[in-house]
Structure 1
Amino acid sequence: MDYKAAGAPKLGKNAPKHAEHNAHGSKKKPFGTREDKAALLARMKKAAEKK
């Protein structure tokens, strides 16, 4: 008997085990939106002053 050919191979599921809370395309991080650099720098300066 040819055990190698017994049964179909299991195909890989290319999906994560869970959904990320900030995945691309979700409410928190919609597609096509990106912070501008000025907003990022302002946020970083505020955090540095806080420390």
Structure 2
Amino acid sequence: MDYKKSGAPKKGKNSPRHQEHNAKGSDKNPYGGRETKADLLARMKAAAEKAKKAD
């Protein structure tokens, strides 16, 4: 029997139907921008100073 001609369902392509507006790598994504190393270090130093003053 030829199952191709009998109308068997096609296998899914495992891809989204549309692009999300805030998908990773998207130009319009306002969230999750990568920080520079200098920004990260400044934030860590500020947190360490705040913790030191709290003690």
Which category describes the TM-score, using the shorter chain as reference length?
0.3 to 0.5
TM-score, length-scaled by structure 2:
0.40
TM-score, length-scaled by structure 1:
0.41
Rg comparison, structure with higher value: 2
